[in-house]
Chains A and B, each alone.
Chain A
Amino acid sequence: MTTFSAPRTALAAVALHGVRRTYGAGASAVRAVDDVSVEFPRGTWTAVMGPSGSGKSTLLHCAAGLERVDAGRVLLGDTDLTTASDDQLTQLRRSRIGFVFQSFNLVGSLTAQQNVALPLRLAGSSPSRSEVRAVLAAVGMADRARHRPRELSGGQQQRVAIARAMVTRPEVLFADEPTGALDSGSARTVLALMRSMVEAGQTIVMVTHDPAAAASADATVFLRDGRVVDRLIGATTRDVADRLVALEG
């Protein structure tokens, strides 16, 4: 078995081994993630689904090194996130990890293009205007570069957030309900953007409630009560929806 798992690990962009995360203590303790082992292969797009409170966000945060784990290991390529120092994690966020969340998390005081340039500036480089414009153009926001977040619609803000995550060309993009606040048109644009990232060789881990969004991904992992209960590959919207209903029922 060991000979079998070793090469697979080498392929994974992110791998979780026996990860546990419990909130609170005693009677009120919640096992948000309960002994989860899962691998996200390089250059693939995986959707994470499950009922509300099943631990999807917690799993994502643990995988991204944002949340401490109580037990188990999280590997980003060959880097162990569970033992990384704060400075190492900061370096990873600058170069190898990107985030997109349901609430768009843009800096309100900066324009769209300043928001996109922010990760590069924090990393100490001064991106050229054309470089930033190119990324904004890729998400169809070139003409809104000088607008502040509050002057943009929700879908537009989300596209700026994705541009910000794309600009560092991270190995892995973690997305928590990236289409959750968008209408179906904007959602389709965002999903298409993500597909183009995967085609460029990046890896995406995406939490979603939307079967159509999950169907755009390569694989879907189902969670319930903090455990992985199922996995579908190349499923249609219909397959995913059925499985979800079965899970919640």
Chain B
Amino acid sequence: MLRLSWSSFVERWALFVGALVTVCFGVALVQSSLLVLISAATYQLPADLSVLERARYGEGTAIAITLSALTLAFSAFLAVFIVSSTFAFTVAQRRRDLALLRLVGGSRRQLHRLLVGEAVLLGGLGAALGIPVGLVVMRFQSGLLTMLGFAPPGFAAEWRNWILGVSAGVGIGVALAGVLVAASRAARVQPLEALRDTGESARVMTVGRWVIAGVFAAGAIALVVLAPIGGAGGAPPMAINAALCASVAMSAISPVLVPVVSRLLPSGAGVITGLAGANLRDGVRRSAATAAPLIVLVGLVLGQSVALASFASAGELDQRASTVADLVVEADGPVGPRVAAVAGVAAHSTEVEVPVTVTFTYDDDVDVEGGSGLVVDPVAYARFHPGTDAVAGLGGNAVVAGPGRGAGTPGSSGELRIGDTAAGPLHVVAEVPSRTGGGADLLLPGALVPADLLAQAPSRTFVELLPGADPATVAGALAGIGEVSTLDAWASRDAAARNATSISIFLVVMGLGAAYAVIGVINAGVIGAAARRTEFAVLRSTGLTRMQVVRAALVESLAVTGIGLLLGVGAAAGTFVAVAMSTAAMIGIPTITVPWAFVIAVGVGAVAICGVTSVITTVAGTRGNPVSLLAARE
């Protein structure tokens, strides 16, 4: 059996290379994310950092940990998903070989053993390749964390010896998980199928696929329903995961969906297009295998980018709605008196932002919270931010929990530090309504903050004009104090700054994930074409030129790509619904923002990759004289 494994390995290497590449990258990604995660979690900040830097990098490390955990979860998911779809396809392509073994006396158990043996071999080999590749990915990931400012310069993830065992386990594990269903299915192949060599006689849509589709569709629906009650913290991850579940469900039922959607394609547009359409429907498995990674790629990228953009817009709208002002002046320190002196200003609220750390002591626990504090004048603040009357409680050591809610709840007491300076005890006495887009964690009275610190800290001053005052004239006069903007312009800049972190996270996680999904797409193309040499030879001996064969394959591939994109959008639709419902629950207006340039770039990129893969593999697959290929059929 082992000899047979090895010889079929050598013979069908084109099929196996694809599986090997997916295992290799899966192992590399998982290994790298795990090492980065552990290094970030156990990272000791250098001793010579100031308290302020310490607080800043402490927060950054927390983000780095979240980010690596996300990447780890995401790459583990993709590894299992893409490796199983590649393995299932590889096994399906060899159905006839397997039937032949059955014909000459192979038992189901032997076939099963053969396939599982191959998977272990591929998993081990993939891990062996993946471990060094993982080191390269890890350098890249560490560098990225430093570049984005989540880790201090000099941060490097560390190698650990035990990771060798983990990576080998991951490689063999995903390979086994990927092959088990396919193997028990393939082991049931009828010996007679060895004698039928045209078309696939096996049913592609299986009970297993229906079950997976059902479970994940139910998960997606549950997430869509729950997202609106998840609040500002829970809604975005739930909305994004709805697309993830929906895309798994979509790819599971793609053997049913692909032929249905393919009927929407124009028919009767010439012999090449007709042939492509027929191949598309006849090779359901091949079409579905190509569409699956595309669906996941598009579903996730679209779902996540739209969710992020929409929640950012909702935050901006909320910010905008919770503030009433004509102009905003950004400057350093408490510039209130100077603003008040400008002609045409009716009222103002100066809010100075300072970094705060609060040490809360509970019965048996000490909790240090870092965040941003906003030094405000209670009367002015309440005037410019409707609904925040609770701010009136400010004074002495009494502070109010801010809209960002990062430090303390009413009733808690602690020790306050502002930057490096101890600022005495504080009591949280009240809270203002929390806001979708976040904001200051604590509202502080001016007396708590040393004057010299206050003078250097950035401030924003909301300005209300006197009736009849000309905004342009007043803005001109205020320009000497700081940067003047309208409320709208300021709100959108503020929202963008607030979202920079989540957008970085998105880019890192998505970038790695998308690269992996692209490998899956290319793989399906290569494996599909490798198994079609005979089919291409038949076409050519029927009278098609090589160019025409390449064109037919290209049309087919573009159609599958289109279908994959369409189904991916369908999967992302779950997220759109969740986002609309959640933002409606949060700010009263359903908000959907589509980052069109990005979405279009993803679509065009997918089409280009599939098209190029198809042309290259078909050109390679039609090399040589078709007649000699047909004569050499065993």
A interface residues with partner B (beta carbon < 8 Å):
61, 66-67, 86-87, 90, 93-94, 99, 101, 103-110, 114, 118-119, 121-123, 149-150, 157, 164, 168, 176
Contacts and interface: CB of A to CB of B under 8 A. Distances in A.
A224 to B, nearest CB: 23
A123 B8 contact: no
Nearest to B8: A109
B100 interface: yes
Given A109-B7, A150-B632, A66 B104 contact: no
Contact of B103 (A93, A157, A168): A93
A104, A109, A110 — most chain B CB neighbours (10 Å)? A109
B191 A93 contact: yes
B105 A119 contact: yes
A105 B632 contact: no
A123 B105 CA distance: 7
B195 A93 contact: no
Contact of A108 (B3, B11, B195): B11
Contacts of B632: 150
Contact of A67 (B11, B101, B192): B192
B194 interface: yes
Contacts of B197: 103
B634 A105 contact: yes
B4 A110 contact: yes
A157 B631 CA distance: 12
B135 to A, nearest CB: 35
A84 to B, nearest CB: 13
13 contacts: A90-B102, A90-B105, A94-B105, A103-B634, A106-B634, A109-B8, A109-B11, A119-B104, A121-B1, A122-B101, A122-B104, A122-B110, A150-B632
A33 to B, nearest CB: 14
Contact of A107 (B100, B105, B107, B108): B100
A103 B1 CA distance: 24
A66 B634 contact: no
Interface residues of B, number: 28
B103 A110 contact: no
Interface string B567-597: 0000000000000000000000000000000
B633 interface: yes
Contacts of A157: 634
Q: Which 3 A-B pairs have the closest CB atoms?
A: A109-B11, A94-B105, A149-B634
B207 interface: no
Given A66-B191, A67-B192, A90-B108, A105 B103 contact: yes
A137 to B, nearest CB: 20
Given A93-B104, A108-B97, A123-B105, 19 more contacts: A66-B191, A87-B107, A90-B108, A93-B103, A101-B195, A103-B195, A103-B633, A103-B634, A105-B195, A105-B634, A106-B634, A107-B8, A107-B97, A108-B634, A109-B12, A110-B4, A114-B3, A118-B104, A149-B634
Contacts of A106: 634
A107 B192 contact: no
B497 interface: no
Interface string B357-387: 0000000000000000000000000000000
B7 A114 contact: yes
A197 B12 CA distance: 35
B106 interface: yes
Contacts of B11: 108-109
Nearest to A150: B632
Nearest to A123: B105
Contacts of A119: 104-105
B604 interface: no
A86 B189 CA distance: 11
Nearest to B99: A105
B264 interface: no
A61 B103 CA distance: 11
Contacts of A105: 100, 103, 194-195, 634
A85 to B, nearest CB: 11
Contacts of A90: 102, 105-108
B7 A110 contact: yes
Contacts of A107: 8, 97, 100-101, 634
A168 B97 CA distance: 21
A19 B398 CA distance: 95
Contacts of B103: 66, 93, 99, 105
A157 B633 CA distance: 10
A86 B194 CA distance: 16
A66 B192 contact: yes
A121 B101 CA distance: 11
Contacts of A168: 105
Nearest to A157: B634
A122 B4 CA distance: 10
A122 B1 CA distance: 8
Contacts of B10: 109
A176 B108 CA distance: 25
Contact of B106 (A108, A122, A149): A122
